[in-house]
Chains A and B, each alone.
Chain A
Amino acid sequence: MTALLKLTNIAVAYGDVPALFDVSMEVKSGSITSVIGSNGAGKSTLLRSIVGLNRIHHGSIFFQSTQIDRQKTEDIVKSGISLVPEGRHLFPRLTVTQNLIIGSYYNKNKQSVLDEIEFVFQIFPRLKERHRQLAGTLSGGEQQMASIARGLMAKPQLLIIDEMSLGLAPIIVEELFDLMIKIRSMGLTILLVEQDVTSALSIADYAYVMQTGRIVLEGASSEVLNANIVKTAYLGL
């Protein structure tokens, strides 16, 4: 498998405060890759850098062998990366359908947008029932589904999901993780950033562990799951 996304020695700082040090990683095409780590480890900063919401000070980011670290967010999204942000960030006063249409901003073909909406409604039938509701009135789990659906509307090659399980009931989390496998089977590559270490590692092929802005461990997820550092720090074993 080739690397769809490749980060080489990137560094990010907010003002004078460094947030990422020398981070290198790869997301292989067709894989589910997971980044785990506690709050403040720099996971969100990493994702923001990939989509160009933060500028990196050092290193490079390649997507499909194109360098994207100087590109604008809109162009990065256009080239095939969708980020489902932490905390869902739906447009609360637009309807579910409107949110989805906005998700396909670059698709000027009306029919293909409608087809895509039908398609995500198949994956998330519950959204179809709620499609005329304002997004702000959905339940937490529904909002997460709508946010993922909205991310899919851009027909990305790489779907990045930040803290999918945060604040959701375990049964919904389980449902969502099952959906990840389904989405991967449709040919998408997924990068998951998670605090729910067990669930994330159970579906991922490869995993990175971050601590205070650095990658401290990487490997196949089964290896990472058994590493001492993960056992003690995240699983409490």
Chain B
Amino acid sequence: MSDVIIQLVLSGILWGSVYALIASGLTLIYSMMSIINFAHGDLLMLAMYFAFTFFLKFNIDPIYSFPVVIILLGVVGFIIYKILIRRVIEAPMFAQVFCTFGLGVFIQGLAQFIWSPIYRNIPTPVLSGVWRIMGISVSKSQVITAIVAISAALLTYIFITKTKTGWSMLAVSQDSEAAALMGIPVEKIYSLTWILGAALIGLAGSFMMEFYYVYPTVGTVFSNIALITIALGGFGSIEGAFLAGLIVGVVESFSGFFLPSMLKPVIVFSLYLVVITVRPKGLLGRVS
């Protein structure tokens, strides 16, 4: 029995670190400009399609094409900020919600137009097979993905808390007008935030293509989980999002084992409702 539990915890953490990576991009954008990006999962879907296309057209595996996918997603993030988000940054929160919903629908339409609604995956990923250690088996691709995800989230965290540019981002997030008075180019910091947030998604999407399939609405599933994750961790808390990502992964893994898989989302989303009832600002949210 303890083997099963270790196995479940491990696979939960593997998935959880992916959730944490996806959520870290979302929470970064939220904490900088208080915009909940409902199209976040659709950016993930786009990244997965990019990785898939590199494989399809040039036979390049995602573990080699990911730097390009990251750059491409960064560019997409930059364009989204410049064309769309910049114009709704002063708008009521509600307009921001429906604006990013619209963006998500648009990206889904685009994906369906370009890649058709068929489920796609990479039949022969480089990272295939499993490792067996003391009776516990883990898929190689998921272990590598988890390591990449945790490193990327850590690097982002270090960048924000230890560098001057990171502090400028924190300054903008805490008081954008005062930041402008310090000579910080607030617009550029916002652009950087979107580039960074989308690039993190690019990384997640690339590696997920090693073991997951892609279709135009795949993002919705991950959007919802990412939204739950950042709310569970406490809006604006980067550490909280990371922690919550791991928790969601483990909870999902256990409920998937003990309950019909149909009920997996029920447990995960109920977890949020239970936590939020006890802690209305999430796990690590600031009570202001």
User: B203 to chain A: closest CB distance in Å?
Assistant: 27
Hey, which chain A residues are within 8 Å of B164, CB to CB? 101-102, 105
Contact mask for chain B residues 146-181; partner A; CB cutoff 8 A; 1 contact, 0 none: 000000000000000000100110110011011111
CA A93 to CA B168, docked complex, whole Å: 12
A91 in contact with B170 given A53-B177, A85-B178, A101-B164 (CB within 8 Å): yes
Contact between A102 and B179 (Cβ–Cβ < 8 Å)?
yes
Report 12 cross-chain contacts, Cβ distance below 8 Å, ordered by A residue.
A51-B181, A53-B181, A73-B183, A85-B177, A89-B177, A90-B178, A92-B174, A92-B175, A93-B174, A94-B171, A102-B167, A102-B182
Contact between B183 and A89 (Cβ–Cβ < 8 Å)?
no
CB of A106 within 8 Å of the partner chain: yes
The one of A72, A83, A89 in contact with B185, judged by C-beta atoms closer than 8 angstroms, is: A72
Contact between A98 and B167 (Cβ–Cβ < 8 Å)?
yes
**A113 closest partner in B (C-beta):** B164
Hey, which chain B residues are within 8 Å of A73, CB to CB? 180-181, 183
For chain B, what secondary structure do more than half of its interface residues adopt (helix, strand, loop), or is it mixed?
Answer: helix
CB of A42 within 8 Å of the partner chain: no
Contact between A91 and B178 (Cβ–Cβ < 8 Å)?
yes
User: B188 to chain A: closest CB distance in Å?
Assistant: 8
CB of B138 within 8 Å of the partner chain: no
**A93 closest partner in B (C-beta):** B174
Hey, which chain A residues are within 8 Å of B171, CB to CB? 91, 94, 102
CB of B105 within 8 Å of the partner chain: no
A-B contacts counted at CB < 8 A amount to 63
A83 in contact with B174 given A101-B164, A105-B168 (CB within 8 Å): no
A91 in contact with B183 given A101-B164, A102-B168, A105-B168 (CB within 8 Å): no
CB of A164 within 8 Å of the partner chain: no
| Most interface-central of B164, B174, B178, B183 (chain A CB within 10 A) | B183
CA A98 to CA B166, docked complex, whole Å: 11
Contact between A105 and B182 (Cβ–Cβ < 8 Å)?
yes
Contact between A74 and B184 (Cβ–Cβ < 8 Å)?
yes
The one of A53, A77, A101 in contact with B183, judged by C-beta atoms closer than 8 angstroms, is: A77
For chain A, what secondary structure do more than half of its interface residues adopt (helix, strand, loop), or is it mixed?
Answer: loop
Hey, which chain B residues are within 8 Å of A89, CB to CB? 175, 177-178, 181
Hey, which chain A residues are within 8 Å of B182, CB to CB? 77, 102-103, 105, 150, 154
Top-6 shortest CB links A-B: A77-B183, A89-B178, A73-B180, A91-B174, A74-B185, A91-B171
CA A90 to CA B179, docked complex, whole Å: 9
User: A48 to chain B: closest CB distance in Å?
Assistant: 9
| Most interface-central of A78, A85, A90, A102 (chain B CB within 10 A) | A102
Hey, which chain B residues are within 8 Å of A103, CB to CB? 182
CA A103 to CA B168, docked complex, whole Å: 10
Hey, which chain A residues are within 8 Å of B181, CB to CB? 51, 53, 73, 77, 82-83, 85, 89
CA A22 to CA B88, docked complex, whole Å: 32
CA A235 to CA B164, docked complex, whole Å: 46
Contact mask for chain A residues 43-58; partner B; CB cutoff 8 A; 1 contact, 0 none: 0000000010100000
Hey, which chain B residues are within 8 Å of A93, CB to CB? 170, 174
CA A102 to CA B177, docked complex, whole Å: 13
Contact between B175 and A91 (Cβ–Cβ < 8 Å)?
yes
CA A93 to CA B160, docked complex, whole Å: 13
Apart from A74-B186, A94-B174, A98-B167, list 5 A-B contacts with CB within 8 A. A77-B180, A85-B177, A92-B174, A93-B174, A101-B164
| Most interface-central of B174, B182, B185 (chain A CB within 10 A) | B182
Hey, which chain A residues are within 8 Å of B167, CB to CB? 94, 98, 101-102
Hey, which chain B residues are within 8 Å of A154, CB to CB? 182-183
CA A92 to CA B174, docked complex, whole Å: 7
User: A142 to chain B: closest CB distance in Å?
Assistant: 17
User: A112 to chain B: closest CB distance in Å?
Assistant: 14
**B172 closest partner in A (C-beta):** A91
**B184 closest partner in A (C-beta):** A105
Which residues B175-205 have CB closer than 8 A to chain A?
175, 177-186
Contact mask for chain B residues 112-136; partner A; CB cutoff 8 A; 1 contact, 0 none: 0000000000000000000000000
Contact between B184 and A102 (Cβ–Cβ < 8 Å)?
yes
The one of B174, B175, B177, B183 in contact with A105, judged by C-beta atoms closer than 8 angstroms, is: B183
User: B161 to chain A: closest CB distance in Å?
Assistant: 10
